């Protein structure tokens, strides 16, 4: 297994396929955590900058169960 600062290299070829599947679900927000890796998080940001939320310690994300086109999630 080869490691680099941005995650194990054997995952790199999977990132685009996984992010495409995630984005296809059309979530209101996507808040990747550290375990997703920087490359994958950046790929999410590139594809859905409007839904991307930088998930950090102390971040509070409030989700609503109401049916709405915008504003269902606040950060």
The pTM of this model reads 0.71
Q: Per-residue pLDDT tens for 2-40?
A: 545 456 677 788 899 999 999 999 998 999 888 888 888
Say which residue the tokens 């297994």 belong to. Answer: 1
**Paired strand residues for 74:** 62
Q: Read off the pLDDT band of 64 (50, 70, 90).
A: confident
Cβ atoms within 10 Å of 48's Cβ, excluding its own: 16
């Amino acid at each position: 297994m080869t490691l680099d600062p941005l995650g194990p290299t054997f995952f790199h070829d999977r990132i685009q396929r996984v992010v495409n599947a995630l984005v296809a679900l059309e979530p209101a927000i996507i808040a990747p955590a550290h375990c997703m890796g920087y490359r994958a998080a950046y790929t999410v940001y590139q594809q859905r900058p409007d839904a991307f939320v930088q998930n950090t310690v102390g971040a509070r994300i409030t989700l609503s169960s109401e049916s709405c086109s915008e504003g269902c999630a606040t950060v």
